Structure 1
Amino acid sequence: MEKSPSLSEKVYLSILVFLAWFALIFQFYLHLNSGAAAKAELLIRFFSYFTIDSNLLVAICSTSILLLKSTSIGKFFCKPQVVTAISVYIIVVALIYNTVLRFLWVLEGWSMVLNELLHVVVPFMFLIYWIYFVPKHRLQWKNLWLWLIYPLVYTVFVMIRGSYSDFYPYPFLNVTKFGLDKVLVNCVIITVLFAFLSLLFIGIGRRKAKLNQVMD
């Protein structure tokens, strides 16, 4: 039987769920009404951003834990392996944006607010959730390989679609501008980042498990 979330966990998740869905829905509205392309194209482009997809995973995961814990989808998203994988994805979003992409665009008004929510606030809050509320003792080194599937599938999708649409959601994936060789190098570097963070999170979990065994 799944343990019900504590009051503090429920309050924290409620805030996280609200902020994540607010940012995603409002950003979707602004994006779809930007006039940058046809509506159908803008719809596809919106879900072509790893930032959006990862924040969507955070929103679905947090909502499932908060409201649907006894359901099959809730039980799936309650798994420490799943929460940890999503934590890695959203932290990669924050790291890459704040170290590589932040100064490429000048944003104002709601766009700036939503940008901070999606790239800083939600990632940081989900990391805090993982630190304080997620049991980590069952994490295993082999989890790494499953966790890398999502970024790999995403990259393949972007590369294939970009080859005929010439739209690449991030500059470092732009084959037209930088060439395939340079983009592949960028992909390898990002994959190493995913792997490093995954192993770091797993290592933290395994160390905590050992400490618990010693204390027992």
Structure 2
Amino acid sequence: MEKSLPLNQTIFLSILVFLTWFAVIFQFYLHINSGAAAKPELVVRFFSYFTIDSNFLVALCSTYNLFFRTTLLGRFFAKPQVTSAIAVYILVVALVYNTVLRFLWVLEGWSMVLNELLHVVVPFTFLIYWLYFVPKQQLQWKNIWLWLVFPLLYTVFVLIRGNFSGFYPYPFLNITELGISKVLINCLAITLLFALLSALFVAVGKRKAKIE
């Protein structure tokens, strides 16, 4: 019989499950009813945002860790390497948004609330969860290369699709307005951010292993 989670970890995961699913589902509802494009196109655009993809991963990880730990996906999301990768992704979301994108749009009402949940509340709540509840001793420097695969595939998808559709989810990826050279420099800078944060996470894990 599998040991139950500690109460404080259960509470943390419950908060993450509620907040993240609420934010992602409500944001999808607002997006799909915005009338900005045909609904099939809006569905694709919705999942073209790295913010949404990362929050969706947080929602899945939290849900499986809380309710379905004995399943195949539950065991997958429980791996420290997987949880740490998701923590890196969602922290990049928070850093890029709050340093580069926050003042580009004026939001109000539920859009403002959901925006703060997706870009501030969920990222830092998940970071705290990682710091206190995720075993880090198994993290290795080689993990960094695997963690970079998802962001790189995402970037390739967005740039290729944007070339045909004209839609770029973020202004720093807009080849039409910035040109390919500037966009590639931006991509390199963000990739470096992913790599540095990943290295920091691994370093924290190795430090913890050395102390213990």
**Which residue number corresponds to residue 188 of structure 1?**
188
**Which residue number corresponds to residue 168 of structure 2?**
168
What root-mean-square deviation, in Å, do the aligned CA atoms of Structure 1 and Structure 2 show? Answer: 0.8
Residue 27 (1) aligns with residue 10 (2)? no
**Which residue number corresponds to residue 119 of structure 1?**
119
State the alpha-carbon separation in 2 of the partners of residues 59 and 139 from structure 1: 22
Distance verdict in 2 for CA 1:143–1:9, change over 3 Å:
same
Task: Write the letter of the residue equivalent to 1:159.
Answer: L
**1:82-111 deviations in whole A, cap 9, x for unaligned?**
000000000000000000000000000000
Classify the secondary structure of the residue corresponding to 2:36.
coil
Task: Write the letter of the residue equivalent to 1:21.
Answer: W
Task: Write the letter of the residue equivalent to 2:114.
Answer: L
List 4+ stretches of structure 1 deviating above 2 A.
Answer: 1-4
State the alpha-carbon separation in 1 of the partners of residues 205 and 5 from structure 2: 20
Task: Write the letter of the residue equivalent to 1:180.
Answer: I
TM-score by length of 1: 0.97
Residue 37 (1) aligns with residue 37 (2)? yes
Classify the secondary structure of the residue corresponding to 1:87.
helix
1:2 positional shift: 5.8
**Which residue number corresponds to residue 5 of structure 2?**
5
Contact 1:2/1:69 (CA < 8 Å) preserved in 2? no
- Identity, in percent, stands at 72
**Which residue number corresponds to residue 210 of structure 2?**
210
Task: Write the letter of the residue equivalent to 2:169.
Answer: P
1:4 positional shift: 3.0
**Which residue number corresponds to residue 18 of structure 1?**
18
State the alpha-carbon separation in 2 of the partners of residues 114 and 205 from structure 1: 32
**1:112-161 deviations in whole A, cap 9, x for unaligned?**
00000000000000000000000100000000000000000000000100
**Which residue number corresponds to residue 154 of structure 2?**
154
Residue 64 (1) aligns with residue 64 (2)? yes
Number of residue pairs matched by the alignment:
212
Classify the secondary structure of the residue corresponding to 2:117.
helix
1:206 positional shift: 0.4
1:64 positional shift: 0.4
Contact 1:174/1:183 (CA < 8 Å) preserved in 2? yes
1:11 positional shift: 1.1
Task: Write the letter of the residue equivalent to 1:191.
Answer: T
